[in-house]
């Protein structure tokens, strides 16, 4: 598997200057060739591909001397990113899909995140203890919080808005898998409670943005009162960025621990396929939904399930999990009202808690989809996505649902 190890660098003053130069040069190359592509596109001439851009970049280095001062792989990867952006745009345009992949835009200097990527060639990237070797930069110290194992692939260096330098080291490594378990679970994501499981467990929603909102407002007020261009304004911007970063770190820590525990304890996890983009259009719930970060949580479950041979099954968006009685299957249309948290089934008189009932229905529907998919050539789920690669049928039988 490919796994990224994120570390915080401790560069010297000269190394900081060179990192900033590399980020600037990568941005310059991206914008220059994007402008050239747009000019050719407007004149209906044949557009430049990556190879043609790479040849022109070699000639451009002879004209602009300071492009030679930085890592060559950073400039080449910048061209590759531009090529990928163009392909994504035209692919999305031809399919007439609504993914929102727009035309490539020029990169700005003053944005929250700046980065560049370099590749491994001839041992130009090495990791020894708490030191990282990068092209042109040499050895850089970093805060060691985890052991970096596996074969190095590439490194992405990022300068955050808070002034820190982060390196994401991508490695090909073997992941120690969890032991197999026979427990299956259904999850119902929510706002009041972050999630409720089919086993009756309720995980409270920490609501980190709302708890830190007072500090954010204070930091915003201090920033608004500073004079533009002053050193105090720079300090206020960094303090505001660090407050936002703290919220992100708290939320990520919560999501990582929760997803890791669920993956370790369960063999099959069934979850509803939520359309978060549409849900946040409700302005009354948009802040709470964004603070919950459901999409990131589902993404964590997906790649961790792949690492540890688990199955993550998504149930269709329009499946009436909350309205269906898990005892008799009666659909109660009155439960569409979000204020109704508990209800008795008119058919079988079973007393249902809204969230726990939904989690049980999601588990039953997910197992039904998996059972129906056994023997299918592609093993597709209700959303048309591949549930698991490889030995799908054998794993379904081992899980005891077939």
Active-site residues: which are they?
188, 272, 355
DSSP code of 78? H
How far apart are alpha carbons 360 and 253 in whole angstroms? Answer: 27
Which of these, 116, 165, 127, lies nearest to 11 by C-alpha position? 165
How many CB atoms are closer than 10 A to CB 231? 9
Distance CA(105)–CA(32), nearest Å, equals 12
DSSP code string of 79-136: HHHHHHHHHHHHHHHHHT--S------PPPSSSS-EEEEEE--TT-SEEETTEEEETT
The single residue listed with the structure tokens 């004079």 is 227
Q: What's the rounded Cα separation, in Å, for the pair 102 and 93?
A: 9
- The answer to whether the Cα torsion of 375, 376, 382, 386 is positive or negative is positive
In the numeric block, which tokens belong to residue 269?
A: 């996890």
E strand or H helix that includes residue 75: helix 72-95
């Amino acid at each position: 598997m490919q796994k990224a190890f994120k570390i915080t660098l401790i560069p010297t003053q000269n190394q900081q200057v060179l990192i900033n130069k590399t980020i600037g040069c990568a941005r310059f190359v991206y914008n220059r060739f994007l402008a050239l592509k747009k000019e050719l596109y407007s004149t209906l001439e044949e557009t430049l591909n990556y190879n043609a851009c790479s040849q022109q970049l070699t000639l451009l280095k002879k004209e602009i001397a300071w492009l030679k001062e930085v890592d060559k792989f950073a400039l080449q990867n910048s061209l590759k990113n531009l090529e990928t952006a163009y392909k994504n745009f035209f692919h999305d345009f031809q399919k007439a899909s609504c993914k929102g992949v727009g035309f490539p835009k020029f990169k700005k200097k003053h944005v929250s995140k700046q980065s560049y990527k370099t590749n491994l060639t001839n041992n130009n990237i090495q990791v020894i203890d708490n030191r990282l070797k990068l092209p042109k930069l040499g050895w850089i110290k970093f805060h060691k919080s985890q052991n970096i194992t596996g074969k190095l692939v590439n490194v992405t260096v990022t300068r955050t808005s808070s002034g820190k330098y982060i390196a994401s080291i991508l490695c090909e490594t073997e992941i120690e898998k969890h032991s197999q378990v026979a427990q299956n679970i259904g999850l119902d994501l929510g706002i009041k409670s972050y999630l409720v499981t089919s086993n009756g467990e309720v995980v409270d929603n920490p609501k980190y943005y709302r708890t830190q909102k007072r500090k954010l407002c204070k930091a915003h007020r201090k920033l608004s009162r500073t004079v533009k261009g002053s050193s105090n304004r720079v300090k206020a911007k960094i303090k505001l960025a660090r407050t936002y970063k703290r919220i992100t770190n708290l939320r990520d820590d919560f999501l990582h621990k929760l997803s890791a525990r669920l993956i370790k304890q369960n063999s099959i996890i069934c979850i509803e396929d939520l359309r978060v983009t549409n849900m946040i259009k409700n302005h009354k719930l948009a802040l709470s939904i964004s603070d919950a970060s459901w999409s990131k949580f589902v993404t964590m479950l997906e790649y961790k399930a792949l690492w540890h041979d688990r199955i993550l099954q998504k149930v269709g968006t329009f499946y009436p999990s909350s309205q269906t009685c898990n005892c008799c299957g009666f659909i109660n249309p009155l439960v569409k009202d979000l204020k109704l948290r508990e209800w008795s089934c008119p058919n079988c008189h079973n007393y249902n808690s809204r969230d726990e009932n939904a989690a049980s229905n999601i588990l039953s529907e997910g197992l039904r989809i998996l059972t129906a998919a056994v023997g299918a050539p592609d093993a597709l789920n209700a959303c048309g996505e591949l549930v698991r690669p490889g030995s799908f049928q054998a794993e379904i039988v081992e899980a005891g649902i077939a």
